[in-house]
Structure 1
Amino acid sequence: MSDLDGQTAHTALREAASQVLDNHDLVLEEIVVTGPRSMPEVRLIVDLPEDQLGSADLDAVAIASRELSDLIDADDSLLGPDPVVLEITTPGVDRELTAVRHFRRSRGRLLSLTVDGTLYRARLLAVTAGDVLILRQEPGRDDRGRPLRMPQGTSERLDIPVAEVSTAQVQVEFDPPADLAQLIADADADADPTASKES
């Protein structure tokens, strides 16, 4: 497998894909090329812009996929004259969060993070302009479903610079907090105090 994201060989494809995706409020995360040269498989991983929450609309992804496929068929300069298998997909839940934009897209989600060898289970509420994560620790439940408690004296809130995060991944959950929207709004105001003054 070769990840050709950012390489000059696919600059034209990246630019064309970005224009198509922009019409559907989607952004290109990366380009991955696999398979034999005779029939390469080109996978474009797309997502919502970093200032939006939620998941990409699958209908929009399907429409963008058809439009981009037509464009590639009509323009050999994008991937050459030979046939290719084109797939447009969204990031899976098992994706490692590595870039600041990944964290911004994950606001409101429960994360598993490793910082200086310590594992945290915390909900990402905001990312400051200085790329600091504002998190709320959530210890989870025991095997009987009872809420776990954090050690006494442990702060619920964590402020961790993205640069200090060794690993981070979104956790699948089925019962997010009922007050999640308010938690995010409060954290956003805390992350950018000028925003509340301007509104």
Structure 2
Amino acid sequence: MTRVTGAYAVIKTHDETVRAFVPAPLPPAAPVLDPAAYLARNRLAEVALARLTGMAGLVASSEWLIYSAVRQEALLTSQLEGTQATLTDVFDDEAGLAVTNADDVEEVTNYLQAFKFVREQLHAPTGLPISLRLLAEAHRILLAGVRGAHALPGSMRTSQNWIGGTRPGNAGFVPPPADRLAEVFGDWRLWRLLPNRHSAALWQSLH
């Protein structure tokens, strides 16, 4: 099934003309997503989750199962920003040992702290729901004391950024222009308030 997920806006930034991706409004409408097309994949995902749940019952704490996985995810995500930390560096830092690339490790640690914060908020009876405020607070934690601390942590950016490459022209991905962020996030916020007709997590993620 071919679906249009967005369009490109031609912008000029850092003396270069590039294409920034702007996602289509939510929910997707062309064509309408048929949940039946993903039932087989959803069943596989549910089986995998059931196996993981079974494994969790064999250990004293389910946190042990996700400890390394969460740190590996934090490491890989931080590498998108150019960090050079390794999993061993993260473990050494948590054990109180000296690391040579403290700044890179701090970025990974911030990711872990942001993940913990969001998880606690979503599980707490009076915690924040998935919302712009939750994203802003997580963003504030992510950028605390690291290379992006000057970039207004907890606020929407006011300049163009990019992912991968050394400049916008050779970037792997150029996010929406700063002047479109209010529109994009506003659309996402309104979509979050719509009644969800399907409970399957895989189907929801595709929206």
Range into which the TM-score falls when normalised by the shorter chain: under 0.3
TM-score (norm 2): 0.22
After TM superposition, the score normalised by the length of structure 1 is 0.22
- The structure with the largest helix share of the pair is 2
Higher strand residue share: 1
- Higher RCO, 1 vs 2 (CA within 8 Å, ≥6 residues apart): 2
